[in-house]
Amino acid sequence: MLRWLVRRLLLAVPVVWGVVTISFVLMHLSPGDPARTALGEKADAASVAALRHQWGLDKSLPLQYLDYLGQLVHGDLGQSLYYHSSITSLMWQRLPVTLVLIVFSAILAVLISVPLASRSTTKPNGAAALVVRLFNAVIQGSPTFFIGSMLILFLGVRVAIFPAGGYPSSLGSRAWALVLPALTIALSIVPLLVRGLRAAMIESYSSEYVTFARSKGLGTGPIRRRYVLRNAGISGVSILGIQVGALASGALVIEQVFAIPGMGSMLMTGILNRDYALVQACTLVFGLIVVVVYLVTDIVYARLDPRARLS
C-alpha cells in the first residue's frame, strides 16, 4: 500500500510538471500584454515598458520559465499582476470556497443519483423509470449556466427560499447560499451517474448472487441495499471520481452566475487580464485537485472491491 502510494505520487510529478509547462506556454504565446492591460490605453509607451521591466516580462521566455519553475520549487506561486498581491494569499482565500463547493456538489450528486437510479431499476420499464430517463435527458441537454439562472429565478426570486447568488459573511447563511450553486453543479453530472449506476444495478439484479438471495427469501429492500447497491456503488465511485474534473469546471462557470468568490472567478479574471502567474497557479491547483481525487478514488475503489489490489 505504502509503496503503491509513493509510486503513484511520483507518477503525479510529471503530470503536474506537464500542466505547469503547458499553461505557461499557452499563456505566454497568446497575444495580449498584461502591462498594457493594467495601464490602460492612455498610458504612454515608456510607462508600459517600465512596468514590463518591473514585472520581469522583458526577459526572454526560457529565462522567465526557469524563474517560474524555481519559484514553484520554493513553494512560491508568484505575484498576481492584476490583484497586486501574492497569489499564495489569494489562494488561501479562494481555494477553500471552491473546494467546499465541489465537495458539497459531489455529495448532492450522490444523494440525488442513488434514489433516482434505484427507483428506475426496480421496474426498468415502469412509469418511474420513464420519468427518470426524461429528467436525465432534459438536464443533460441544458447548459449549467441556464440551470443556474432558472434555479435563481424559481428558488431565489419567485419562492425566495435561497438568496439570488452572493456569498454572505456569516457561516450559517453562507452554507445556505451555497445550496443552489452546489445543486446546479451536481445536476450537471447527475445524468451520467444515474445512467452508470442504473446499468450496474440492472446487471447486478440479474446476477446469480441476487437470484440466490431471492430464493433464500430475502425482500427487495435488503437485496437492494446489501447486494445490488453495494456492487453497483463500485462503478458509481469511479464515475464520480472521473467526473470531479467536470465538477471543477462546472464550478468555474457557476461561480460567475452565483457571484461566489472562488477559484473560478479568479481564473476568469486572470485569463482576461493576461495575469500569467495567476492563471498558471490556478491551473496548477486544479491539476493537483484532479490528481489527488483520482488517487483517493483508487483507494476507495480498492476498499470497496477486494479484487482490485493496490500494487
**Where do contacts with another protein occur on this chain (CB under 8 A)?**
30-33, 36-44, 46-47, 50-51, 54, 82-85, 90, 93-94, 143, 145-146, 149-150, 152-153, 156-158, 160, 163-167, 169, 256-259, 261-262, 265-266, 268-269, 271-274
H/E stretch holding 283: helix 276-304
Q: Whole-number minimum distance, CB 294 to another protein, in Å?
A: 28
HEC sequence for 116-160: HHHHHHHCCCCHHHHHHHHHHHHHHHCCHHHHHHHHHHHHHHHCC
CB closer to another protein, 35 vs 201: 35
How far apart CA 90 and CA 263 sit, in angstroms, is 9
Q: Whole-number minimum distance, CB 51 to another protein, in Å?
A: 5
CB closer to another protein, 42 vs 307: 42
CB closer to another protein, 233 vs 270: 270
Start-to-end CA span in the chain (Å):
7
CB closer to another protein, 54 vs 207: 54
Q: Whole-number minimum distance, CB 191 to another protein, in Å?
A: 20
CB closer to another protein, 68 vs 258: 258
Q: Whole-number minimum distance, CB 138 to another protein, in Å?
A: 15
Say if CB 190 and CB 116 are below 8 A apart. yes
How far apart CA 59 and CA 56 sit, in angstroms, is 6
Q: Whole-number minimum distance, CB 258 to another protein, in Å?
A: 7
Q: Which residues pair with 85 in a beta bridge?
A: 80
Cell numbers standing for residue 44: 504612454
HEC sequence for 15-53: HHHHHHHHHHHHHHHCCCCHHHHHHCCCCCHHHHHHHHH
Q: Whole-number minimum distance, CB 8 to another protein, in Å?
A: 33
CB closer to another protein, 40 vs 306: 40
